[in-house]
Amino acid sequence: MSEIFNGYPPYYNIPHDISLKLKILEGQKPKIKCEVPQLLLDLMNKCFDDEPKNRPCAKELLISSSNIELIFYTM
């Protein structure tokens, strides 16, 4: 998701080496550098949750994407 809105993949400007792997394991998340609706920002952050059971399931993503689609069509 962040790649679609940012226009580039996460960590595009950082060497993909052991240092990056360790930073990710320590909790570093990709930065979202553009303005997006709060609902989408919340969903993206939920997808980055350290605890897999807190991440949205496919059904929740489908429902959220429908809500986000409504936001974009009413803008």
pLDDT tens digits, residue range 19-64? 999 999 898 888 877 787 788 888 888 988 889 999 999 888 887 7
The torsion angle over the Cα atoms of residues 19, 15, 42 and 27, rounded to 10 degrees, is: 0
Rg (C-alpha) for the chain, rounded Å, is 14
Asked if 44 contacts 1 with a C-beta cutoff of 8 angstroms, the reply is yes
pTM above 0.75, yes or no: no
Asked if 29 contacts 4 with a C-beta cutoff of 8 angstroms, the reply is no
- The residue ranking higher by pLDDT, 71 or 12, is 12
pLDDT at res. 4: 76
Question: Does the pLDDT value for residue 16 go beyond 90?
Answer: yes
pLDDT at res. 22: 95
